Structure 1
Amino acid sequence: MSDSNAPSSQRAPRPPRQSRTGTTSTGARKAGSKSGRSRAREFALQALYQHLVGGNDAAAIDLFTRDLAGFHKADAAHYDALLHGCITTAQYMDELIAPQLDRKMSEISPIEHAVMWIGVYEFQHCQDVPWRVVINECIELAKEFGGTDGHKYVNGVLGSLAPQLRAAEVAADKSDKGGKADPVS
């Protein structure tokens, strides 16, 4: 028998209501509020991790990743571009990233490394994605999959590359703000 008819003083206390915002307790976006491109970035990150850690072939990684639960909700074209584009241009992207680092590339977490690849690739090849969105998406990936403060490191590296890789767009943002660029958080 239910105690719903019992006086309120005798009912068991209700658990606290769950937040209905689009973020989890760690600040990462909830799955239901993610776009197809955000999901594509997540699957690309997982695939690039396999490449960095296991040295697996892009085609084999691609077949495996497409079978993962939830892939059908991802933007498959964006995933393809990220996975194959990052692997194909990995050496070039590492040459861009390395001068921004305070340590050797081999000491960077594979998750952060892959997230930075995604950011650099999108800066260069996805002009329809604003530079601030690229950085914010990469911060979200690092928060969700990376180490405790990995997102801060990714933010710093990509924030320093943005003026180089998206010079006109960053300059236009600075001029709109009276010469002051807001830090990306």
Structure 2
Amino acid sequence: MQQAVAVAIKYDNDDPDVEPLMALFDQTFLTRFNTRLIRGGDEPVYLPADDQTPYHQVVFAHGYFSSALHEIAHWCIAGQQRRLLEDYGYWYCPDGRDATQQREFEQVEVKPQAIEWAMTIAANRRFQVSTDNLNGAEPDRESFTRRVRAQLLSYLHSGFPPRAALFINALREKFNGPELNQAWLDKEYPQ
């Protein structure tokens, strides 16, 4: 389904673009939304401001650039009330999901992963969907990729959520990413 990766994908926590990404997020959102992007440990999490920390935190795993974009995408679609709750008030079903749980997981992941895909391209990197179930039911990766792609095309035609659009533009400026449109997507990610 996807072509060979032409760009080296950076996954280690020594990625030199992580610090600039964190700074870009803070520059874009700290003043208006009192929210910072924070390098974390094993598990990503969203933490609203509290008595100990006066700002909201989008915490991504291990300093991975891709984890940061994924968590930012979730933040970009969370409503104002959800952003007052730890992990937006959602319960996360961890790795090891059965087939039904995996379908439910993928259903709620379509929109954030479509936004993550656009952000990844804007950051001049290569995207790959995450089915996040290494020790559970075998996911249908191609079907999930098609659903995420369809949502990305929908966003391209109807517009991204406002915070997502703002950050996609900031990423493109910072990392010299290409202008994303359907023609570019069809060329670089043919079905």
Greater share of helix residues, 1 or 2?
A: 1
Q: TM-score, structure 1 length as denominator? A: 0.37
Tell which structure's C-alpha radius of gyration is larger: 1
**TM-score (ref. length: structure 2):** 0.36
Instruction: Say which structure is richer in strand.
Output: 2
